[in-house]
Homo-oligomer: A and B are copies of this chain.
């Protein structure tokens, strides 16, 4: 499984680094995956919403991703760099539409879900985002599931704000590599997992073993 986290100027740092570390730990514990930080073009480094600069491993598309994770950041305050700006610009949304059409699953973390929705990938579909943007998500045509921390609709996955990124990544590890590895990662990072996770089978609670 090839996972890419798509950095862009103004993206939230934890939204990107949180899942990266969860997947890196899962790999160290035996999950057959690769995870890389990428950017949409030749930009090799981005400065996040809070001012930390992170270096990408490579440009997007060098290898086909099975899962592409889009961080949030800069939506609520319409920051000059971030999700709001990216939606106005349109290149990131075009990339998502193209990647999804080619069979890549897309995960929107926090207000990354607004970019996914703006790419037309959430029309009429269940999704969640940062609590402050749920109405915007609805206005974009999605079906907001504010009661869920993670919404897994198969080829499109979304989650709540910032630290919900950890629960999204842990859920994907559980779904694709088993609950034992997911719980082992949670224990390693001393994280108390939270749900609920919405899947097509309904809402399910996540019980943490790493309390």
Contacts and interface: CB of A to CB of B under 8 A. Distances in A.
A188 interface: yes
Interface size class of A (residues with CB under 8 A): 20 to 34
Contacts of A166: 163
Contacts of A192: 192, 194
A17 interface: yes
Interface stretch (A44-52, A99-107, A119-127): A44-52
A59 interface: no
Given A55-B55, A163-B166, A192-B192, A20 B13 contact: yes
A53 B52 contact: no
A52 B25 contact: no
Interface string A159-172: 01111101000000
Interface in A86-112: none
A21 interface: yes
Interface in A159-200: 160-164, 166, 188-192, 194
A23 to B, nearest CB: 9
Given A21-B50, A54-B54, 15 more contacts: A14-B17, A14-B18, A17-B17, A21-B52, A51-B57, A53-B54, A53-B55, A54-B55, A161-B190, A162-B188, A163-B166, A163-B190, A164-B190, A192-B192, A192-B194
Interface of A: 12-14, 17-18, 20-21, 24-25, 37, 45, 50-55, 57, 130-131, 149, 160-164, 166, 188-192, 194
